[in-house]
A = this chain, B = another copy of it.
């Protein structure tokens, strides 16, 4: 009867060759220095015994694993799952296996996961999801990553180039700057912003791009029309409610609202409707990301398209590329897409 677990030694014995030969025959690395007939014998034996090489043992012996760590804030969020799909496809191409960690937006867990990947001896780590302005957390994370890299691991981040590692940066500010002029050209002058959490760097960059862009056109955003809140659908909903509540007479205090991401924009639309307002007649709304699942909503959402899957691919390639002295920064631009949620203002 077959042993509980078939090892390469079993295969070698069965094939009547040495362990080394069996290894060479099965692995068949670069220089296949093994006689064809022996090779066949080994492969046969392996098949007969249903041999399955132990990747852990291989990793151990070879001194390198085949794992790639992917750390996201929340895999259920379409933003991250789309990036993840890019990462998995690039990883597969590279013959790597993706280890997924979802931090639920908890900085401590992010750090813990980096350490976990380090213990797994993952070849590289990809950190998707923006940083916050929490200097201390960033420093801790940076030093964990530095440690990891000093041990030969590759790292790439998606977001802000704060960690001292290769980063795919998103040109948030430029994109929202362009959005500002597009909306301005469409006739909008009174803006509200659902600005996301304080200290969320992506959210802030997006907000600032819009604000500065408008400022350049002579339009100020009233502080009373900037609402902070979670980077989520509910954050958008509540934010919009708050914004509407700030007008004395119940009418909408602005004619366009920019939400710093699409899911917030959708929440905002829901809140506007719940308040009896029509989108876009009473208030226009724009988002950011161009989430695929939301591409068919009505009114179609003006937003900024990000090539999320490509970003995942790029980050993977960056993380796997031979290290450089200077951290690389690969900027990815967003494309403003004007749709029905921000029609021309007459």
Contact = CB atoms under 8 A, between A and B. Distances in A.
Nearest to A297: B297
A70 B88 CA distance: 12
Interface stretch (A79-87, A188-196, A205-213, A246-254): A79-87
Contacts of A309: 76
Interface residues of A, number: 59
Interface string A70-81: 100011111011
B97 A120 contact: yes
A249 to B, nearest CB: 26
A284 interface: no
Contacts of A294: 293-294
Contact of A76 (B50, B82, B92, B116): B82
Interface stretch (A17-25, A32-40, A54-62, A165-173): A54-62
A129 to B, nearest CB: 14
A233 B56 contact: no
Given A78-B78, A294-B293, A119 B88 contact: no
Contact of A292 (B76, B100, B116): B76
Interface in A80-122: 80-82, 84-85, 88-89, 92, 97-102, 104, 115-116, 118-121
Nearest to A309: B76
A56 B215 CA distance: 56
Contacts of A119: 52-55
Contact of A293 (B147, B263, B269): B263
A52 B120 CA distance: 9
A273 B298 CA distance: 10
A48 interface: no
26 contacts: A5-B151, A50-B147, A54-B119, A54-B121, A55-B119, A55-B121, A56-B121, A75-B88, A80-B81, A88-B102, A92-B101, A98-B100, A98-B101, A99-B99, A100-B100, A233-B292, A233-B293, A233-B295, A233-B296, A266-B296, A267-B296, A269-B298, A270-B296, A273-B298, A293-B294, A297-B297
Interface of A: 4-5, 50, 52-57, 59-60, 65, 67, 70, 74-78, 80-82, 84-85, 88-89, 92, 97-102, 104, 115-116, 118-121, 147, 151-152, 233, 263, 266-267, 269-270, 273, 291-298, 309
Given A56-B59, A97-B101, 19 more contacts: A4-B151, A50-B147, A52-B119, A53-B119, A55-B119, A55-B120, A56-B60, A75-B84, A78-B81, A81-B84, A84-B102, A85-B102, A89-B104, A98-B99, A98-B101, A99-B99, A233-B293, A269-B296, A296-B297
